[in-house]
Amino acid sequence: MTLIKKHDATGDAPREFRHQSRDRAGLLCQLEADAPEQRRWAALDLAAFSDAADALCDRLEQETQTPVREAILTSLIQIGGNPVVCGLMPLLRSEDAALRNQVIEALQQLPEAVSPYIERMLADDDADYRIFAINVLANLRHPQAPAWLQDVIERDDNINACAAAVDGLAEIGTPEAIPALTALPERFADDPFMQFCTQTAIRRIQGHGA
């Protein structure tokens, strides 16, 4: 799902909302409105206010309507920067799988803003959280992404985290990762599937350079 969508070039809300205040304070108030369409337009218009990131992230955590979530994430991606990344990172711990996936997609579109936090995310005590961070890396257009994934398979003791990193390296890995991939199955000798995964990743990496 692509989060950033085309909207009316004027950025104007529908006619029934035009009598309402479109300044920051008014939009923040409308972001809590009962009508989902009103919340959606408020979220879209708040993209013009970089200091609205915290409020948008707070709303995202409790929002249940998919179109409103998409509008919030669209604005957050447009705002970008550290406040957005810091507001989105905790949502990777959400029990809502759909929300987590949307947050992963959003973070993938903010490579420069998210990059200073990657090492911290990969060192988190929660293996599930590390896996979600690895999922961000798998499609993060950042030159360090392959190296971060390689570091996971060299250091992480969780087999699921390593398997996720192997999948990521199969997509974006470079030949430099092949020795680490070759050595990985020895760390999980009781799991024959890891041997299969690493060999598949190695073949795909070698195929990238063919």
Query: At which of 87, 109, 131 does a domain end?
Result: 109
d(CA 204, CA 32): 48
Same domain for 146 and 104 = no
Same domain for 83 and 62 = yes
Confidence tier at 58 by pLDDT (50, 70, 90): very high
Confidence tier at 206 by pLDDT (50, 70, 90): very high
Question: What does the pLDDT look like over 126-164, one tens digit per residue?
Answer: 999 999 999 999 999 999 999 999 999 999 999 999 999
Looking at residue 22, its pLDDT comes to: 84
Quick check: 198 pLDDT over 90?
Answer: yes
Closest CA to 18 of 30, 36, 6, 5: 30
Quick check: 7 pLDDT over 50?
Answer: no
Residue predicted with more confidence, 60 or 4: 60
Give, in order, the Cα–Cα distances in Å from 183 to each of 1, 59, 168, 199. 35, 45, 17, 11
What would the two tokens of residue 152 be? 């996971």
Domain residues for the domain of 90 are 1-109
Same domain for 102 and 41 = yes
What would the two tokens of residue 201 be? 């990743």
Same domain for 122 and 19 = no
Same domain for 139 and 51 = no
Looking at residue 6, its pLDDT comes to: 42
d(CA 204, CA 210): 10
Give, in order, the Cα–Cα distances in Å from 81 to each of 16, 49, 87, 147, 158. 33, 13, 10, 23, 31
What value does the mean pLDDT of the chain take? 92
Question: What does the pLDDT look like over 156-194, one tens digit per residue?
Answer: 999 999 999 999 999 999 999 999 999 999 999 999 999
Looking at residue 130, its pLDDT comes to: 98
d(CA 106, CA 59): 15
pTM, rounded to two decimals: 0.88
What would the two tokens of residue 172 be? 């974006």
Looking at residue 48, its pLDDT comes to: 96
Looking at residue 17, its pLDDT comes to: 55
d(CA 8, CA 34): 23
Total of domains in the chain: 2
Looking at residue 208, its pLDDT comes to: 77
What would the two tokens of residue 175 be? 């030949």
Query: At which of 109, 144, 166 does a domain end?
Result: 109
Q: Provide long-range contacts, Cβ within 8 A and 24+ apart, for 15-18.
A: 17/41
% residues pLDDT > 70 (the chain): 90
What would the two tokens of residue 135 be? 């999922």
Looking at residue 103, its pLDDT comes to: 98
Identify whether the C-beta of residue 53 lies closer than 8 Å to the C-beta of residue 84.
yes
Looking at residue 10, its pLDDT comes to: 41
Looking at residue 170, its pLDDT comes to: 96
Same domain for 119 and 102 = no
d(CA 67, CA 154): 40
Same domain for 118 and 66 = no
Same domain for 166 and 77 = no
Confidence tier at 8 by pLDDT (50, 70, 90): very low
Looking at residue 11, its pLDDT comes to: 52
